[in-house]
Structure 1
Amino acid sequence: MNTNNSATFHMAELCRAQADLCAQLGSDLYVQVLRRCAEDVEAGGPVWDVLRDLADCPADFYPALRLLGSVHRLVLTGQAPALAAHYPSVGGRPGPGLWDAFRGVVIDHAATLTTLVNNTPQTNEVGRAASFLGGFLKIANETGLPLRLLEVGASGGLNLNWDRYRYESGDWSWGDAGSTVRLTDIFVDRTPDSVPATVVERLGCDLSPIDLRAKEGQLTLLSYLWPDQIARIERQRAAIQIASNAQVHVERANAIDWVRQHLASPRAGMATVVFHSIVLSYFDDNERRTFGEVLEDAGSRATADAPLAWLSLERSAGRFEVRLRSWPDGSERLLAVCGGHGLPVQWLDS
């Protein structure tokens, strides 16, 4: 049945836009799947049946990613053996039958997938720790103080453990040489100063935090990774183990209320850093404005002995930017631009 109307056109275009992004970020498997998904949606096929309830969603709802993550979840749990044969994340290799296998999973598990696509994607990308690294080091160097970390949209808290990872780029390195999480070939051309940094407190919030002590939580984070990007998956597994052992607390809370609470009083003897990655796109205009106002208000109370920093990785004008706002002076800097998954990083600041 052909259902060529505005709803199917909108959803098909979102699938194609996601395919283009996957092409830029190096997932040939998902490019193939998403282009066929777009055609299936336009034809009123099983993919459209699963995504129909999201027909009027905005682009930043990421319906295509919701579907891909939900299907990958079925593969990881052994419920989609025919598709698993094409997914490198479970030892498969993409082949000519990829689309038929994917479409078969959508048909066979339609009821389950229709429920799963209503879950917000959880992309706790460890590669983004490399994007934040230079910012954390700059804050530590300029303030001369240990760091108090407050991550908004922390998911499972993997990036709250950034200082427990190893970073290498040419002759440049930082962090624990024995860490099981290694991020290599990070920087394009320039590197930040390799200076000491100490973390004295780490807290996070999320509307739907992931409990990494539970298999369900680990499965959720792995399912939203792209199955043909094995390096990301291996890095994620290692980071999950570190986070499980560290038991960093991520609180279920509204970001604005949570930040307001934790910034109510300056904390002397440490630099408080509020940071987030790809979070503001989930806020509406009023929430973004209020979030900024809360930080501005807290910044007005900051002192040299109790400074505040706002470190962000967000998409702007088609690129991913790492920005730093610092108080008490209120300065703002563009530190770096980076890939959507954090790597590589083009360090811009002096």
Structure 2
Amino acid sequence: MTDHTQLAETFRRFADQQAASLSPLYATLARAVARTPELLDLAAHTRPGQPAPNMLLAAVHHVLRRGVKHPLAAYFTGHEDLADDHGAGLLTDFCRHHAGRIRQIISTRSVQTNEVNRCTVLLPAFAALQQQLSDGRPIRIVDVGASAGLALLWDRYTYDYDGHRLTLPDSDPDTVLHCAVKGAAPPLTLDVTRFVRPVGIEPSPVDVTDPEATEWLVSLTWPEQTQRMHTLNCALAVAARTPPTILAGTAQDHLADIVAQTPDDQHLVLVFSWSIYQIFGSPGGRERLVDTLAELSRRRPLHEISIGHFSNATPRMIMASHDSGVSRSEVVAHCDIYGTWIDWLAKTPAPAGT
């Protein structure tokens, strides 16, 4: 197949498999790109390794959110439904007028969605881990693939689990994260004072004090997901007041130093929230991660919380311990990719090192 044939197929798969149920607008526009050579020419400038449909449509969204006047804007605000036979012409005209700006965005930026609602899935894992680590020692969280670091501020948000409101000492009342509970109730009781000095690792950290950088995060949110966009804006406002600590670089750049420099009297927890494939590739990324953490654990015990599909249709959360080169893990929950529901599977926290 030619490059354009492959690219067109990528946009068709995106429309049918990802956007169809979540964003009818993006499904329509992605199908339009797939059958329009001029739009495929533009999409071909996407930065290597980045998903072209997400990047091109986010770039269009980004330009429109800057106040550009065009008939396409009405469809991005939900005022009208865009018909397939009208989408290609509108999108082509818009991209023709703003080709330079769009090309600059897709050739230099990356998809760095920072889904703050995933904290609803992480919080029960932190609660379970605290119960497991019952010695009272401080717990340090390292978010690998942190983007803007919003997950590092998990203790600043308000939580709602099927109407059960969970407010932490520093909760922001405007940033409310919602999660439906399937099956058993997840653990939610925890002492946030035990969690100290969180840090993120990110190749290109998003500066939460830079409006242009945070605007790109908002533009990556699909237009119909207005509640998700509102929550993201609230979380970004929290982050701007108390910016998280993020180390610029890869996991390979920083993990060994973090393991060596974290005091021995602190438990060290590494969090990978849909980021393993970005670091270790796919398939087989989880196995390569385990090998890496097992080797690092020869210096000190490590704990891991990982969320992803892991070759399964339904995402799952894994909690693992790595100690003296030996790794043990358990699937503790199934969940939604946006953290909108959780099915807690673990009966009780596994004892440390088992």
Pairwise CA distance, 1:24:
6.3
Residue among 117, 126, 150 paired with 2:116 = 126
CA contact (8 A) 1:73 1:223 kept: yes
**Does residue 212 of structure 2 align to residue 220 of structure 1?**
no
CA distance in 2, matches of 1:257, 1:268: 21
Pairwise CA distance, 1:171:
5.2
Residue among 82, 85, 88 paired with 2:71 = 82
SS of residue in 2 equivalent to 1:227: coil
SS of residue in 2 equivalent to 1:334: strand
SS of residue in 2 equivalent to 1:282: helix
- Counterpart in the other structure of 1:22: 18
CA contact (8 A) 1:76 1:223 kept: yes
- Counterpart in the other structure of 1:150: 142
The alpha-carbon distance between structure 1 residues 154 and 285, as it changes in their structure 2 partners (threshold 3 A), is: closer
SS of residue in 2 equivalent to 1:225: coil
- Counterpart in the other structure of 2:306: 312
Pairwise CA distance, 1:284:
4.9
CA distance in 2, matches of 1:200, 1:333: 25
- Counterpart in the other structure of 1:31: 27
CA distance in 2, matches of 1:70, 1:131: 29
Structure 2, unmatched stretches of 5+, are 348-354
CA contact (8 A) 2:46 2:56 kept: no
CA distance in 1, matches of 2:166, 2:17: 30
- Counterpart in the other structure of 1:61: 50
- Counterpart in the other structure of 2:339: 342
TM-score normalised per structure 1: 0.86
CA contact (8 A) 2:54 2:220 kept: yes
The alpha-carbon distance between structure 1 residues 255 and 80, as it changes in their structure 2 partners (threshold 3 A), is: farther
Pairwise CA distance, 1:337:
2.2
SS of residue in 1 equivalent to 2:143: strand
Instruction: Give matches, 1:111-260, under 5 Å.
Output: 111-118=100-107, 119-144=109-134, 145-170=137-162, 172-176=164-168, 179-198=173-192, 199-260=195-256
Which letter maps to 1:345? I
SS of residue in 2 equivalent to 1:75: helix
Report the count of equivalent residues.
333
Pairwise CA distance, 1:112:
2.0
1:60-86 CA-partner distances (Å, limit 9, x unpaired) = 631110111111110111125322211
RMSD, aligned CA: 2.5
SS of residue in 1 equivalent to 2:187: coil
CA distance in 1, matches of 2:123, 2:274: 16
CA distance in 2, matches of 1:231, 1:21: 22
SS of residue in 2 equivalent to 1:309: strand
**Does residue 321 of structure 2 align to residue 323 of structure 1?**
no
TM-score normalised per structure 2: 0.85
CA distance in 2, matches of 1:178, 1:158: 13
CA distance in 2, matches of 1:22, 1:139: 33
CA distance in 1, matches of 2:329, 2:102: 43
Which letter maps to 1:296? A
SS of residue in 2 equivalent to 1:283: helix
Pairwise CA distance, 1:178:
5.1
SS of residue in 2 equivalent to 1:244: helix
Pairwise CA distance, 1:282:
2.1
SS of residue in 1 equivalent to 2:208: coil
CA distance in 2, matches of 1:112, 1:67: 11
The alpha-carbon distance between structure 1 residues 257 and 291, as it changes in their structure 2 partners (threshold 3 A), is: farther
Q: Which runs of 4+ in 1 moved over 6 A?
A: none
Which letter maps to 1:281? Y
- Counterpart in the other structure of 1:103: 92
**Does residue 60 of structure 2 align to residue 71 of structure 1?**
yes
CA contact (8 A) 2:116 2:151 kept: yes
CA distance in 1, matches of 2:262, 2:248: 23
Which letter maps to 1:248? P
CA contact (8 A) 2:179 2:342 kept: no
Which letter maps to 2:185? T
CA distance in 1, matches of 2:29, 2:20: 15
CA contact (8 A) 2:315 2:336 kept: yes
Residue among 291, 294, 304 paired with 1:296 = 294
Identity of aligned residues (%): 23
CA contact (8 A) 1:130 1:186 kept: no
Instruction: Give matches, 1:261-280, under 5 Å.
Output: 261-265=257-261, 267-280=263-276
Which is further off, 172-181 or 336-345?
172-181
Pairwise CA distance, 1:342:
2.5
Structure 1, unmatched stretches of 5+, are none
